[in-house]
Structure 1
Amino acid sequence: MMSLPCLFRPPLKSPSFQGSRSSLSAILLTGILCSPLICPAAESDPAPAAESQPAANAEPATAVDHVRQLQTEATLKGHSPIAHWGTDPAKYQQWGSHSNRLIPVYTFGTKGGGDGLDLNSLTGPHSTYRSEEKLRQLYGHVPVDTVSDKAEYLDQTDIYGLQKAALAAGRKYIFLVVFDGMDWQTTQAAAIVRRQQVPYTEGRGQGLHFQDYAANGTSQFGWMVTSPHNQGTKVDVNTQTISNPG
């Protein structure tokens, strides 16, 4: 299994819910590959009891995935009594493209890494969205109602810069994991299902491995903005570049 190193400071409050597809990004900057230790039984150990064989006509037992059933029914029917993507409760998926909202970011091995690598150097007072100059470099102009002296979040493009900073700092193992369709609320729902209780109502969260793993105190948590720039662009996921910027 892969041992994940983490970053991010104590969690911020969760953003208001906005439906649509999204991404949860995790930067894994260090990792250790481990092999399981298999110990043979001692000679004095009793032989294991023989397992009973199921009847030939017995139906195999299957675990019920309630969340999967709900999603499948909603997709087939086009509506759901429990959730919807968009402003119309009668339509399960009204929005099918990215919207302008905040997405959770979990990093491992970044805390204390210096400018460009430590999340604190990209958020809060250093957020792109607190600077007209940085926004003009990013968008080519300053979008309406975008500059905010209260912005705590980084931009999605800062994830690219963070990886470059990790490389410049001599990190040998850099992993970028993108979970499609995972907002803060989706992560919380997964933790609720796993714990069978509501383990948190704000911030980084707990109950899932990437939430609980502290990477020896180097893990951090924050938010990134996934603002679409334009339509029709072609991207190369391997080089994380755009061939025809609009």
Structure 2
Amino acid sequence: MKLKLIYLLLLIVLFLVLYVLRNQIIGLFFSSEEKQTIESIVEKYNPKVKASLQNNFAKNNIDSTDFEMGILAFKKEQILELYIRKNETDNWKMLKKYPFTAFSGKIGPKLKNGDKQIPEGIYQMEYLNPNSKYHLSIKVNYPNTFDEEKAKLDGRTDLGGDIMIHGKSVTIGCIPVGDKNIEEIFILATKTKNKHFPIIIAPQDFRTNKTFPEIEAISWEKDLYENIAKELTNFE
């Protein structure tokens, strides 16, 4: 009788161990959370975003269903500015400003993987991630051709990547703007006519401060900042 009881207890323990291991393996390879799609994000947040930004669109006399967008981000000011226009022949108009909710690195471009630098340059939106660990995210196409050319000149090979504009309040080289703000930017990114819209990341706003920073680690900062300053004139 005692032997049967011991066998029964061992079977129960074995069952519990296997059950725990099964759940751990499933959790390792599969997320327990339901995967979002861009469409499901739009369905979830569009009504709130539409109501929040309707006055901003009205003040600029632009239809919220028929526009192009562009983003400027300034590291010194820690501000992201979102611009809209009807089409490429019109002038850009500022829709809204969003403060960074965290910052990493210092003034100067991103040079290598792990340097925690926010890139500086003229970029584009690459894709939207509705399942980001940081609520929602927008991929910046770093490194671009300019970055790769200068890396080749310097003899650098591992430039890093995965630069995002995202929610939350943490960063190691990306641009966080908080959850509510990334919901607005993300929804607009799904609606804009220019899907790979410009994202210009500058060390500072050269429209108000025309002095270029000197970066000790490189010799080509003047080329970079002249390109950025020229591009910013389109948003004055």
Q: Where on the TM-score scale, by shorter chain, does this alignment land: which range?
A: under 0.3
TM-score (norm 2): 0.26
TM-score (norm 1): 0.26
Where relative contact order (Cα < 8 A, 6+ residues apart) is larger, the structure is 1
Structure holding more helix per residue:
2
